[in-house]
Structure 1
Amino acid sequence: MKHNLKKVVIPLVTVFTVALGITAFQANDRYRQVPNDSFGKGERLEYRVHYGFINAAEARVDVSNSIVNVNNRPCYRVNVFGRTVGAFDLVSRVRDQWRSYIDTSAILPQMFKQEIEEGKYRKEETVLFNHGSNVVYSSVKDEKKSFKVPNNIHDVISGYYYLRTLNFDRMSVGQMIEVPTFFGGEVFPMKVRYRGKDEIKTKFGRIKVLKLNPIMPNNKFFKGEESINIWVSDDANKVPVKVEVDLWIGSLDMDLKSFKGLQSEMKWM
């Protein structure tokens, strides 16, 4: 069991990042205007991650109550926290924090920060986005680098919030959503396939959902490129309510544990 736990801890961060960082369509203008009735200040979501019957981790996502200015643009400050619990915490302790400052009108990142604590590994990074010049500036300790990026680049958190503003009724089942994303000093195409509408059972009751399938690259942890399934509420909020991840050594599940401050009332059945 201890051997298996070590193999599961590593993908936990990816589960948080993918589930809460799905991205969407790329626009062509530098500072677009994106209508948003899906999220706002004061929203708070909490999740429970379990490996079989074992509690593995917890995640919290919240939008601060105040608007902050970054690059002279008003921004939502979105905080994401992930931590291992129980036996997983004893095997390999994880305390990760990500923060994205998302432009309130363009729904684009102006700044991204991460503080990583995974076992003995530590990393702190600050990324500043210049959308006018399509350049990002990354600072890790005393090392500073600049990267040329595509138009309307996202970080792994801001893309999910952009996704929540979209109308999935205009998409066809099986349609692939792709957008360039900057993370870890690299630009990569994050891909998500829309699988259509569904209905699932949660601790709060049954709910109508949209099923999404992030496409994963081949690796030693995930069982194939379609190993992650995400169900988001089929309403204006588009909140992830359930995630299933197939690993080579088993499966992980992430479920919505609590929520508050939503823009619209969740439509439980």
Structure 2
Amino acid sequence: MLSAVLPLLFLLLLVAPPSAGSEPVPPFGPGERMSYDIHWTFIHAGTAELTCAPDTELDGAPARLFRAEARTLGWVDTFYKVRDTMEAWTDLDVTHSLLYKKDQNEGSYHKKVELVFDKAANLSYRYARGKLQHTLDQPCDVFDPMSILFAFRKQVLYKGLRFDANVSDGKISVVGTAYVEGVEKVETGIGEVDAHKVRLDISHLSGVFKKSRDAELYVWFTADERRIPVKVRSKVAVGHFTMTLNGYRPPDPR
């Protein structure tokens, strides 16, 4: 069951794209790195890392590149090894996705997915194991499951705020909704921080969330201009999963 949740810790950050109230300079940039501990109930099951890579080009146009990795540890790694990596390319202003890649290795299951977004045609093309599997109509501005997290961090947060965003994995395209419930103290590997508690709508989700009665998913972002995701918590039928920040490196000086 661990394999059903680890990738979703990134997939489920379904929040809003930049709006007129967004800050002109995002709080992230090349060089930023966030590392996490993943716990399944009381078991230290794995680690994860999010990075903002140096700006690059995609099809001759400037692009931002984000990377994520998740892996199991210890005895969990012995009986069910997880090595998942994801990469996401967006425009420099992070207003829409350009390309998304996922390399999923969980036990004996291995799968590579590539999701190409054609903004001019409002289409996406999902390739699995090198073959075109899905062509999907998309809204004007849509995000992949990972870059939506960085788009959200451009927002100014406050209690009662609701977010709606277009997000797609190439098989379906949905409007994800999130709600800011307030500010709480959160213990992290870098100390205690004030953080906005954000509740995510999971009604569109499948797998272990769909099968779990009273399932829930929350994400906490620091209540400062950085808006660092410091904690993720999910409740599903197989137990509680948490992902907590244990290290942070700020972006390179601009």
**TM-score higher than 0.5:** yes
Pair 1:180 & 2:186 matched: no
Pair 1:132 & 2:124 matched: no
Pair 1:117 & 2:109 matched: no
Question: Match of 1:4?
Answer: none
- Select the residue among 236, 240, 251 that pairs with 1:247: 236
Say whether the 8 Å CA contact 2:16–2:151 is kept in structure 1: yes
Pair 1:53 & 2:42 matched: yes
Higher mean alpha-carbon deviation, 223-232 vs 120-129, is at: 223-232
Distance between the aligned counterparts of 1:184 and 1:84, measured in 2?
26
* Secondary structure, counterpart of 2:6 in structure 1: helix
Structure 2 CA distance for partners of 1:229 and 1:106, relative to 1, 3 Å: closer
Question: Match of 1:76?
Answer: 64
Question: Match of 2:150?
Answer: 161
Distance between the aligned counterparts of 1:263 and 1:168, measured in 2?
24
Distance between the aligned counterparts of 2:18 and 2:190, measured in 1?
34
Distance between the aligned counterparts of 1:99 and 1:241, measured in 2?
20
Higher mean alpha-carbon deviation, 74-83 vs 243-252, is at: 243-252
Which TM-score applies when normalising by structure 1? 0.83
TM-superposition CA deviations, 1:152-204 (whole Å, max 9, x none) = 011011111110001114xx51x432222110522122221221222223232
Which segments of 5 or more consecutive residues in structure 1 lack a partner in the other structure?
1-6, 265-269
Distance between the aligned counterparts of 1:105 and 1:10, measured in 2?
32
TM-superposition CA deviations, 1:210-261 (whole Å, max 9, x none) = 1101111376734556611211101121111112221223212211011102
Say whether the 8 Å CA contact 1:125–1:138 is kept in structure 2: yes
- Select the residue among 5, 11, 27 that pairs with 2:5: 11
* Secondary structure, counterpart of 2:224 in structure 1: coil
Q: CA deviation at 1:263?
A: 7.0
Which TM-score applies when normalising by structure 2? 0.87
Distance between the aligned counterparts of 1:219 and 1:185, measured in 2?
12
* Secondary structure, counterpart of 2:195 in structure 1: strand
Question: Match of 1:221?
Answer: 208
Say whether the 8 Å CA contact 2:23–2:155 is kept in structure 1: no
Say whether the 8 Å CA contact 2:112–2:129 is kept in structure 1: yes
Distance between the aligned counterparts of 1:67 and 1:142, measured in 2?
26
- Select the residue among 79, 82, 85 that pairs with 1:97: 85
Question: Match of 2:129?
Answer: 141
Query: In structure 1, what residue type is equivalent to 2:15?
Result: T
Which segments of 5 or more consecutive residues in structure 2 lack a partner in the other structure?
none
Distance between the aligned counterparts of 2:98 and 2:2, measured in 1?
33
Pair 1:199 & 2:199 matched: no
Distance between the aligned counterparts of 1:219 and 1:45, measured in 2?
27
Q: CA deviation at 1:101?
A: 0.8
Higher mean alpha-carbon deviation, 255-264 vs 230-239, is at: 255-264
Query: In structure 2, what residue type is equivalent to 1:210?
Result: H
Structure 2 CA distance for partners of 1:23 and 1:154, relative to 1, 3 Å: same
Q: CA deviation at 1:48?
A: 0.4
Distance between the aligned counterparts of 2:173 and 2:26, measured in 1?
29
Distance between the aligned counterparts of 1:26 and 1:37, measured in 2?
10
* Secondary structure, counterpart of 1:159 in structure 2: helix
Aligned Cα root-mean-square deviation (Å): 2.5
Distance between the aligned counterparts of 1:45 and 1:115, measured in 2?
20
